[in-house]
Amino acid sequence: MSKRVGLVWDPKSLSYDFGPQHPLKPVRVELTVELSRSLGLLSHPGLERRSARDATREELRLVHSAVYIEAVERISQEAHDPFTSYGWGIGSGDNPAFRGMHEASAHIAGGSIVAAEMLRSGDVEHAFHPAGGLHHAMADSASGFCIYNDPAIAIQWLLDGGVERVAYVDVDVHHGDGVQAAFYNDPRVLTISLHESGAYLFPGTGFPNELGGGDAEGTSVNVALPPSTDHDSYRGAFDAVVPPLVEAFRPAVLVTQLGCDTHVTDPLAHLALETRTYRYLAESLHALAHSTTQGKWLATGGGGYQIFSVVPRAWTLYFAEMLGAAPDGKLPQEWIDLAKSRGAGTLPDRLIDPAIALPAEQGRRARAATQAACEETLRLIRPYYSR
């Protein structure tokens, strides 16, 4: 379906590193790229590879305040203790300070801008930036492992470059609160987030009544899922909400955050998805990009804390779908050996998990609660799309 696909990646992206004690480990991005290489995806004839670059201060100011950027620059130079409270949300357990933090964070932001540049220039139809997806950062503060909000910066860069409308779809287990906040009053951006309900999980937001403000009312869409949401119920919620609303919005570009901390084994959350869910989402988002945006799809990574057994498989499934490739499903032994050399224990041997089944009563309750959550979102949002 796609003639050219971009991959934005270079080893400097691994410098976004909060330290060995932190769950957001950059090795997961390296292992994603190496799994793609082992499966032959980096030799695909339609692939265009680019390095990221540091976003400029002016580009960071598309979303972040000047005083916040200056604070990050100062802390980045002076940081002596990761857990000293420096203000601005930095120095907490979530966002430890580290030397070079500004440059590392600006490089992630610049990577998503490079992906946006590739789309706008027409060099590619789809662009994947696996190190991106830092969707919690706010205009004036770090939050949730995120210093600069690269998806929001890329979206604003596209708008400022003449793109009329952008649809943002976030499938991370945590609400995409920073991107929602950046565009809450902007009718040119539709934000859709499917996530574990804020009643159970950080950041405690993302409820269906968060609909957007002013002229943008109806452009903020949230599906707040219950714990134990499984493959079938998640798929039902996605199908009921995402394609119809994106198609009705008629965006020029689709931007996605592909967090895979929704997996049943993820240590930081409580959903029950499998890698087959990510293959389904990849297929659905790919088709949606071609049906609504003439293929213009910018995809970023995001959360995911099973750094060896889940993240590389999930993001490789998305990347393979972008390329129109169909790996045979087995994980190459050379990649398994590499992952073990980086610290992995027991690993699956295939891209797709064996199907799981929740205990009968737990599954029944979760499916009923997921359907109710989806219906509540649709009840509130449908009036804006039936006029």
Active site residues: 136
Alpha helices in 258-309 (DSSP H): 275-292
Residues 332 and 319: their CA atoms lie apart, in Å, by 17
CA-based nearest residue to 224, from 371, 14, 341, 342: 371
Residues 152 and 134: their CA atoms lie apart, in Å, by 9
Q: How many other C-beta atoms can be found within 10 angstroms of the C-beta atom of residue 2?
A: 17
Q: Where are the beta strands (DSSP E) in the chain?
A: 5-8, 47-50, 126-129, 166-170, 189-196, 220-225, 253-257, 297-300
CA-based nearest residue to 245, from 211, 277, 271: 211
CA-based nearest residue to 259, from 170, 165, 329: 170
Alpha helices in 39-175 (DSSP H): 57-60, 66-78, 101-121, 150-160
Pairing relationship of beta strands 126-129 and 166-170 according to DSSP bridges: unpaired
Q: In degrees rounded to 5, what are phi and psi of residue 257? A: -115, 120
Q: Token pair for residue 129? A: 């930036």
Residues 173 and 314: their CA atoms lie apart, in Å, by 14
Specify whether the CB–CB gap between 380 and 209 falls below 8 A: yes
Residues 313 and 145: their CA atoms lie apart, in Å, by 22
Residues 123 and 139: their CA atoms lie apart, in Å, by 31
Compute CA 320 distance to the chain's CA centroid, rounded to the nearest angstrom. 17
Interacting residues of 295 by C-beta distance below 8 A, sequence separation 6+: 1, 2, 125, 126, 289
Which value, to the nearest 10 degrees, does the dihedral of the CA atoms of residues 51, 259, 295, 246 take? Answer: -140
